[in-house]
Copies of this chain bind each other. A is one copy, B any other.
Amino acid sequence: MVKYQEIAKDLRHRILNKLYLPGEQLPQEKEMCRTYNVSRITIKKAVDEVVNAGLVIKRRGAGTFVKAVNDDAVKELSMVQQFTGFTESNTGKSISSEIIRFEIVHPSAEVADKLQIDKDGFVYDIIRARYADKEPFVVEYTQMPLDIIPGLKRDVLLDSIYHYIQSGLKLKIQSAHRAIRAMWPNEVEQNYLKVDTSFPMLEVEQVAYLDDGRAFEHSISRHRSDKIIFKTLSIRA
């Protein structure tokens, strides 16, 4: 691990352990340079990481201050920093999947546009219900281009597609663009998730990208609203 990450980790720990209290000013950047024996740009990069983690605030002309974030929120901030911003009530539970549909088709015009691929190409068209300890919590509709993700089999769908992409195909996932809405469940979701017509669902539509810039997945996930919360942190530019 490089210097600025080490320093950022140290600052996070000091804040979480209340060595720096909410509202308190952190040491100035020049002083930190002496403390950690690094240049000022390195300190700046370290502190910026902690700003983006939501723990502190910088003000030109004034200093750097610890935010008054409550303890529960702080714990979740470390989660938000992960790739997904989801808090599912599934931690520690065993996840399994049921395959509802697994076909190869031409993409719809909409999906072809979102994935920026040709309408004449082929995509997997997958529908899965996912279970945590045999409790159903989400139905996922996924399309992925055949030529980017070759060799998909049923056993991969039963396990984790993302694991296959990263470990099996050695591809790297870079980012995801998401849109979140509330919805009613359709008939499929009512059946698999065991909810009635009026039960509210949280829909997450996602386009995900590899580190070469190609879109490799379009998916729509319809979650039972009692099983998921989406958390996010926005910092004003």
Given the interface pairs A69-B116, A116-B69, A198-B197, the reply to whether A54 lies near B177 with Cβ below 8 Å is: yes
> This chain: how many copies in the complex?
2
Q: Contact partner of A66 among B56, B213, B223, B232, CB < 8 A?
A: B213
In the complex, the answer to whether B182 meets A67 with C-beta atoms within 8 Å is no
Q: Contact partner of A229 among B41, B67, B114, B181, CB < 8 A?
A: B181
In the complex, the answer to whether B174 meets A23 with C-beta atoms within 8 Å is no
Contact-residue bracket for chain A: 35 or more
In whole angstroms, how far apart are the Cα atoms of A69 and B87 in the complex?
A: 27
In whole angstroms, how far apart are the Cα atoms of A175 and B237 in the complex?
A: 9
In the complex, the answer to whether B201 meets A200 with C-beta atoms within 8 Å is yes
A16 interfacial contact with B, CB 8 Å? no
Chain B residues with Cβ below 8 Å from A209 are: 57, 67-68
In the complex, the answer to whether B176 meets A234 with C-beta atoms within 8 Å is yes
In the complex, the answer to whether B22 meets A225 with C-beta atoms within 8 Å is no
Q: Which residues on A are within 8 Å of B, measured CB to CB?
A: 22-23, 41, 54, 56-57, 59, 65-70, 72-73, 77, 81, 83-85, 87, 113-116, 173-184, 197-198, 200-202, 207, 209, 211-215, 223, 225, 228-237
